[in-house]
Chain A
Amino acid sequence: MSQPVWRRGAEEVGNQVFFMGGFFRNIFRTGFEWNEFLRQAFIVGYKSLPLVGITGFILGFVLTLQSVPTMKEFGAESYVPSMVAISVIREIGPVIIALICAGKIASSMGAELGSMKVTEQIDAMEVSGANPLQFLVVPRVLACIFMIPLLTLMADGLALVGGFLGSNIGNKISALSYFNKAFSSLAFSDIVPAVIKTIFFGFAIGFVGCYKGYNSDRGTESVGLAANSAVVNASLWIIVLDAFAVQITNIVVYN
């Protein structure tokens, strides 16, 4: 007879808390894996550049094209650069880029660690006396924590470039004027909370990807399940974290 849903849910939460405890304990253990961290930062950051760059650029471009007709109706066309800048940097950029990265990075971490589990590589590390959490999990999660904010900032910049090109279809606006309007509407209170929340998004992507892979069942099917479940869960974490982040930002910054 299978366990009731609430019990399985409680066990899953307990396992995740235990795994998170292991992650935090191992960050501060001696023998930090710098080489592995740099390798993962390269994989997470550099190898995601084209996907994230194109996404960011098109995001700004499309947002501008969609907004211009409506803004025109209200005679507010000149506010398009400000609107694009604020909406992309505060909300759309971090969330969309995090969701894109959840699809690319969390799934690949889930599949990689899942296949290591299936082929007993993680067990082999453990029985040799090495610490698989320190070698496999800590560098991956930290790489996501460092690289997701950087990728988001780059995507935000490219979204503004996309917005500028979008504004130039039909109308003529100089780059100086466009970026002047965009940046003058931004304050640190827009950028800092957005960057802070991307750090949490990075943690969610790395943590969920590693957790699902590391704890996958034994069998080739479970590798696919781990990858799929990593994407679904990381996306859910991002949406929920975003809801909290917006509330906290409203209370702390805008009140």
Chain B
Amino acid sequence: MDMQGGVVINDSAVPDDKKTDGADNIVIEMQHIKKAFGTKVVLADVSMKLKKGENLVVLGRSGSGKSVAIKCIVRLLDTDGGSLKVFDKEVQDLSDEQLKDLRVRVGFLFQSGALYDSMTVGENLAFPLIRVLKLKDTAEIEKRVADVLTSVGLLEAIDKMPSDLSGGMRKRIGLARTLILNPEIILYDEPTTGLDPITSQEISELMLSLQKKYQTSAIIITHDMACAKITADRILVLDEGKFVAEGSYDELQNSKDESVRAFFK
């Protein structure tokens, strides 16, 4: 048991096969992270740990700082205080080259999918292979693009433009683009927002199956309780810049705290 940011972090929520005591298995560690925009404090004191192979869901009201927290992990935003370690390296201290290496190991799926709208789906997926991994062999690039598209079930969309895709397809392609660099951690920013319940369930199940296939760890920011139920090994609730509750889906659903139970209604 570990006290973090005002919340008792309880290992009982984590499946037995993912329980670890060693620090080696902690892939992300936040301690007393603070972040403000001007006078508006978004993260007051956030502490958490993500273990290898774990799916951690972060719940919270709009504007509670969930997206800000995961953007700090890949240094899209700089923290104002505290310690944030990814793979045991302090993110704020990384050089540009080290940061680039880190970003290859940590995938990020944006809420909108963030597909490059001037490129086809195939070009979107080849983009990181060419620019980041510096692959030049066209056959290898095509094979990797086809493989990852097959894994999200959208091989037929390879020549389509993003504007021709539905919301669910965009999310899948965004996920494919994240997976193509074989990340060890994936950060999902509201992966099912704006989707109908059926597509939302498909995306949640896809996330789970891909996690098993690629052995990734994940932080999933969501409001979608169905998504949380399917994907979560552990859930943290963020409110007013602090984690206020932690546990498994069932534990939080039966929480004594009315504000936590409100998410499950």
User: Would A123 and B131 be within 8 Å (CB), given that A128-B103, A129-B104 are in contact?
Assistant: no
Considering only residues 98-128 of chain A, those with a C-beta below 8 Å from chain B are 116, 119-121, 123-128
Considering only residues 160-194 of chain B, those with a C-beta below 8 Å from chain A are 177, 181
Across the interface, name the chain B residue whose C-beta is closest to A132: B131
**By the criterion CB–CB under 8 Å, are B132 and A119 in contact?**
no
Q: How close is A125's CB to chain B, nearest CB, in angstroms? A: 8
Is there a chain A Cβ closer than 8 Å to B139's Cβ? no
Is there a chain A Cβ closer than 8 Å to B110's Cβ? yes
> What A residues does B103 contact at CB under 8 A?
126-129
Across the interface, name the chain B residue whose C-beta is closest to A1: B39
**By the criterion CB–CB under 8 Å, are B128 and A129 in contact?**
yes
Q: Report Cα–Cα, A119/B118, bound state, in Å.
A: 13
User: Would A124 and B100 be within 8 Å (CB), given that A31-B134, A119-B117, A130-B128 are in contact?
Assistant: no
Q: Report Cα–Cα, A55/B177, bound state, in Å.
A: 45
**By the criterion CB–CB under 8 Å, are A126 and B76 in contact?**
yes
> What A residues does B110 contact at CB under 8 A?
120, 123-124
Is there a chain B Cβ closer than 8 Å to A131's Cβ? yes
**By the criterion CB–CB under 8 Å, are B104 and A124 in contact?**
no
**By the criterion CB–CB under 8 Å, are A131 and B76 in contact?**
no
Q: Report Cα–Cα, A119/B177, bound state, in Å.
A: 16
Question: Which of B108, B111, B117, B127 is in CB contact (< 8 Å) with A130?
Answer: B127
> What B residues does A116 contact at CB under 8 A?
116-117
Q: Report Cα–Cα, A108/B265, bound state, in Å.
A: 47
Is there a chain A Cβ closer than 8 Å to B112's Cβ? yes
**By the criterion CB–CB under 8 Å, are B108 and A129 in contact?**
no
User: Would A128 and B115 be within 8 Å (CB), given that A120-B110, A123-B76, A123-B110 are in contact?
Assistant: no
> What A residues does B116 contact at CB under 8 A?
116, 121, 124-125
Q: Report Cα–Cα, A123/B106, bound state, in Å.
A: 14
Is there a chain A Cβ closer than 8 Å to B43's Cβ? no
**Which secondary structure dominates chain B's binding surface?**
loop
Across the interface, name the chain B residue whose C-beta is closest to A30: B134
Q: Report Cα–Cα, A119/B117, bound state, in Å.
A: 10
Across the interface, name the chain B residue whose C-beta is closest to A131: B131
Is there a chain A Cβ closer than 8 Å to B195's Cβ? no
**By the criterion CB–CB under 8 Å, are A121 and B114 in contact?**
yes
Across the interface, name the chain A residue whose C-beta is closest to B133: A129
Is there a chain A Cβ closer than 8 Å to B74's Cβ? yes
Q: How close is A8's CB to chain B, nearest CB, in angstroms? A: 13
> What A residues does B108 contact at CB under 8 A?
124, 127-128
Question: Which of B101, B112, B117, B128 is in CB contact (< 8 Å) with A128?
Answer: B128
> What B residues does A120 contact at CB under 8 A?
110-112, 114
Across the interface, name the chain B residue whose C-beta is closest to A36: B118
Q: Report Cα–Cα, A135/B106, bound state, in Å.
A: 21
> What A residues does B177 contact at CB under 8 A?
124, 128
Q: Report Cα–Cα, A131/B128, bound state, in Å.
A: 10
**By the criterion CB–CB under 8 Å, are A127 and B76 in contact?**
yes
**By the criterion CB–CB under 8 Å, are B114 and A123 in contact?**
yes
Q: Report Cα–Cα, A121/B111, bound state, in Å.
A: 11
> What B residues does A125 contact at CB under 8 A?
116, 127
Across the interface, name the chain B residue whose C-beta is closest to A126: B76
Question: Which of A119, A131, A135 is in CB contact (< 8 Å) with B112?
Answer: A119
* The 8 residue pairs across chains A and B that have the minimum distance between CB atoms: A124-B114, A120-B114, A130-B131, A129-B103, A129-B132, A127-B108, A128-B128, A120-B110
22 A-B pairs in the complex with CB atoms less than 8 angstroms apart:
A116-B117, A119-B117, A120-B110, A120-B111, A121-B115, A121-B116, A124-B110, A124-B114, A124-B116, A124-B177, A125-B127, A126-B76, A127-B108, A128-B104, A128-B128, A128-B131, A128-B177, A129-B100, A129-B103, A130-B128, A130-B131, A130-B132
> Besides A31-B134, A124-B108, A124-B110, 10 other CB < 8 A contacts?
A120-B111, A120-B114, A124-B114, A124-B116, A128-B127, A128-B177, A128-B181, A129-B101, A129-B128, A131-B131
